[in-house]
Homo-oligomer: A and B are copies of this chain.
Amino acid sequence: MTRLSRAAILAVGSELLTPTRMDTNSLFVTDQLNRLGIDVIFKCVVGDDREELARAVRTAFDLADLLVCSGGLGPTDDDLTREVVAEVLRRPLSEDAELASGIRARFASRGVLMPAINLRQAMVPAGARVLANKNGTAPGLWLEEEGRIVLLLPGPPRELKPMLGMVIESLRERAGGFSLVRRVVRITGRTESQAEQSLQPLYAEWGRRTVPVAATILAALGQIELHLSARSASHADADAALIQAIDDVRASLGLDVYSVDGSSLEQVVGNMLVERGLRIGAAESCTGGLVTSRLTDVPGSSRYVDRSIVAYSNAAKTELLDVPAEVIAAHGAVSEEVALAMASGIRSRARVDVGIGVTGIAGPSGGSSEKPVGTVVVAVQTPSLARARTFRFIGERELVKFQASQAALDMVRRLLLEL
């Protein structure tokens, strides 16, 4: 008997092909299957069209040993999943007497005449197991074909989820008894290709281990994520393989790894502040409050955030943060001197241990050849250390702001590690 390990998910419904709707069932299904050690290797969305649906079913079933279809099981003309799957698997459909009488009874109990079309929901492909729908009218179906399985589930999440629950034990028996475990490593301070180059030798090594570890790198501006997964008969072995892989990444990338448990950068910084009993304040120009907003996204951040200043104008920097007007005049508002003065100013004004200063040109205007749009200076000051760094970020205004906030939080993290 084939051990299920590779699943495809097919969502049926023309509405899922419009610009405002998405198939979200597949996320739930993926999570449930992953827990059984079954990988999802292919997902697709197809409209209510016989030929396209048949084509999609064939492709998906060729690639996978488990095919989960959602939607298209209703009574109307455009509900085609049952018929098309029966046709692809060459199983004749016949009316299931029990289902048919159940449907009749349901209408009768409401005193409504049953439109004949509803009996389509009682049609069952030969050899299929019928899955009762406690939350709706369309029954689900479980079909086997040469050791592989096709599962037809209704589209509405409140019907699909409990029905998948009904068959999860059957799926577990058929799965390899494997556990698929995932971990995300978050990295900052280098580009995707720089990270990739350092990690490449590891990928090869991980592939050769007793419990192989698979890796995918995901990069966005200001943040790189390395998604690791391991599959093993033993959950503990899979977990151990990931822990070792994470150690390898740390050994390779050092302090550029800031999170291995899903924590955000603001959570990591927040934990470090709490551990060290330190408080923090920010003097923000181009980030406009974003650094402090991120710091305060963390529950309990009132333990280390007391106040911050958004000083957009030069006058605000001088009046609220004691940045000398002469320093701004001599070096420009976007300079390491001003950023350091801002960090120092918020530290003493807010009477906190760690001060952040951020000043820059978020764009789209305001740039010069010497200081183009995207130039941002971040300074961090602690009682014993002070550091300033000039960045050149790319992207639009909001992205520059995000990268600047990321750089500021990361500089705090690195400085706290030295304390």
Interface residues of A (CB under 8 A from B): 13-22, 24, 27-28, 30-31, 34, 39-49, 52, 55-56, 59, 62-63, 74-78, 112, 115, 117-118, 135, 156, 158, 182, 191-194, 196-197, 200, 203, 214, 216-218, 220-221, 227, 282, 284, 286-293, 295-297, 299-302, 305-313, 315-316, 320, 350, 362-365, 394-399, 401
In the bound assembly, the distance between CA atoms of A52 and B8 in angstroms comes to: 11
In the bound assembly, the distance between CA atoms of A17 and B216 in angstroms comes to: 12
List the B residue with the shortest CB-CB distance to A394. Answer: B135
Are A46 and B42 within 8 A (Cβ)? yes
Are A288 and B297 within 8 A (Cβ)? yes
| Chain B residues, CB < 8 A from A47 | 41-42
CB distance from A207 to the nearest CB of B (A): 11
| Chain B residues, CB < 8 A from A17 | 30, 39-43
Pick 7 A–B contacts, CB within 8 A, sort by A.
A55-B63, A112-B194, A282-B310, A297-B397, A299-B364, A305-B312, A307-B312
- Specify which of B22, B118, B310 is in contact with A289 (CB 8 Å cutoff): B310
| Chain B residues, CB < 8 A from A192 | 74, 76
List the B residue with the shortest CB-CB distance to A78. Answer: B216
| Chain B residues, CB < 8 A from A401 | 293, 296-297
In the bound assembly, the distance between CA atoms of A290 and B293 in angstroms comes to: 5
CB distance from A51 to the nearest CB of B (A): 8
In the bound assembly, the distance between CA atoms of A364 and B300 in angstroms comes to: 8
CB distance from A219 to the nearest CB of B (A): 8
Are A307 and B299 within 8 A (Cβ)? no
Are B77 and A200 within 8 A (Cβ)? yes
Are A216 and B56 within 8 A (Cβ)? no
| Chain B residues, CB < 8 A from A316 | 306-307, 350
| Chain B residues, CB < 8 A from A75 | 193, 196
In the bound assembly, the distance between CA atoms of A69 and B365 in angstroms comes to: 34
In the bound assembly, the distance between CA atoms of A304 and B167 in angstroms comes to: 50
| Chain B residues, CB < 8 A from A158 | 221, 395-396, 399
Are A216 and B293 within 8 A (Cβ)? no
List the B residue with the shortest CB-CB distance to A28. Answer: B19
Known: A42-B52, A289-B284. A30 touches B18 (CB 8 A): yes
Are A306 and B312 within 8 A (Cβ)? yes
Known: A45-B43, A292-B288. A320 touches B307 (CB 8 A): yes
| Chain B residues, CB < 8 A from A20 | 27, 216, 218, 227
| Chain B residues, CB < 8 A from A310 | 282, 289, 292, 296, 305, 307-310
Are A313 and B306 within 8 A (Cβ)? yes
Known: A74-B192, A193-B75, A293-B401. A311 touches B307 (CB 8 A): yes
CB distance from A154 to the nearest CB of B (A): 11
| Chain B residues, CB < 8 A from A196 | 75-76, 115, 117
- Specify which of B52, B292, B398 is in contact with A63 (CB 8 Å cutoff): B52
In the bound assembly, the distance between CA atoms of A398 and B49 in angstroms comes to: 34
In the bound assembly, the distance between CA atoms of A55 and B6 in angstroms comes to: 15
In the bound assembly, the distance between CA atoms of A40 and B169 in angstroms comes to: 37
List the B residue with the shortest CB-CB distance to A392. Answer: B110
| Chain B residues, CB < 8 A from A115 | 193-194, 196-197
In the bound assembly, the distance between CA atoms of A106 and B203 in angstroms comes to: 27
Are B299 and A288 within 8 A (Cβ)? no
| Chain B residues, CB < 8 A from A55 | 59, 62-63
CB distance from A331 to the nearest CB of B (A): 19
| Chain B residues, CB < 8 A from A63 | 52, 55
| Chain B residues, CB < 8 A from A312 | 296, 301-302, 305-307
In the bound assembly, the distance between CA atoms of A218 and B203 in angstroms comes to: 42
| Chain B residues, CB < 8 A from A293 | 287-290, 293, 401
In the bound assembly, the distance between CA atoms of A218 and B156 in angstroms comes to: 10
Are A227 and B15 within 8 A (Cβ)? yes
